[in-house]
Amino acid sequence: MSDHPTSDRSPALIEFSDVAMTFRDTTRSFRAIEGLSLSIPRGQFCCVVGPSGCGKSTLLNMVAGLLEPTRGEVRYDGRTVTGANTRVGYVTQKDNLLPWRTVRANVRLPLEVRGLGKAETDRRTDEVLDLVGLAGFGDAYPRQLSGGMRKRVTLARTLVYEPEVILADEPFGALDSQLRTVLQGELLDLRSRTDATVLFITHDLGEAIALGDRVLVMSARPSRVLLDEPVELPQPRDVFSARFAPEYARLHETLWAALSPEVESGVSA
């Protein structure tokens, strides 16, 4: 496993420069993000926490090229993102698996869309199913799988085309705590083997600390970065044992002190 940089002196792969995002419909408009500047180095696992509705998912959508900022610039590997960013993989809250396709057929779909040859598609699909522990389930259908296994299929479908960045929008939020811990550990293991950069959205401070090299706390809308904290827990990391480390407790207290007023202001608004 290579070292994962956390220093701002490392070359930035993702950059937000004075970004603002305003959403409008026929009756109203609201500012989701205002004056956000942020850089994420290559190879970093960066977790983002903040109150509901503060624009966390909007950050991912801008990196993926699904949204353009109202003001400012989002750059990927030095170039402004102006359309769909095919160099990133996106893991959403819902698995969005196609129920009429088998596990294998769901996983190989991105490679079919790209027109990759059958031999290479088969090789990559077999490799990634083994990587996520689903080697024996390629012929199963989504309805036959548990929630955790469906999440593994979603990860496999993202990893199969070897993205250099994984955008993850609360991928484990709907799972029970035991399964979430297992999949958190598997994600860290997968990341260590692929060396991908990860931008991970979560509402769970414990999850952010256990997974991340760095945690960003966002303010209530219009959102900005309130706190940018490195996670000084050793890698490779056991997500269960990490929660008993003194650094974990200290960081949790620091992050909550910044986050709790924003959550309370959102509830009382």
Degrees (nearest 5) of the Cα angle 124, 129, 130?
A: 100
Question: Token pair for residue 84?
Answer: 């769909």
Residue 10 has what pLDDT? 54
In a domain, 68, yes or no: yes
Domain co-membership, 59 together with 124: no
Residue 199 has what pLDDT? 96
- What is the mean pLDDT, run by run of 10 residues, along the chain of 269 residues? 43 92 85 92 94 90 94 95 91 89 94 89 92 90 91 88 90 80 84 87 93 94 92 87 90 94 67
3-class DSSP state of 205: helix
Domain co-membership, 15 together with 52: yes
Domain co-membership, 155 together with 174: no
Residue 81 has what pLDDT? 95
Peptide bond into 236 cis (omega under 30): yes
Domain co-membership, 20 together with 141: no
Domain co-membership, 156 together with 174: no
In a domain, 184, yes or no: no
Residue 27 has what pLDDT? 81
Domain co-membership, 79 together with 196: yes
Residue 124 has what pLDDT? 92
Please name which of 3, 83, 99 lies closest in space to residue 43, comparing C-alpha atoms. 3
Residue 180 has what pLDDT? 81
Residue 212 has what pLDDT? 94
Query: What total of structural domains would you count in the chain?
Result: 2
Domain co-membership, 69 together with 9: yes
In a domain, 185, yes or no: no
Q: How far apart are CA 69 and CA 227, in angstroms?
A: 22
Domain co-membership, 173 together with 50: yes
Domain co-membership, 169 together with 153: no
Residue 257: domain span: 1-87+165-178+191-269
Q: Do 146 and 205 form a contact (C-beta atoms < 8 A)?
A: no
3-class DSSP state of 103: helix
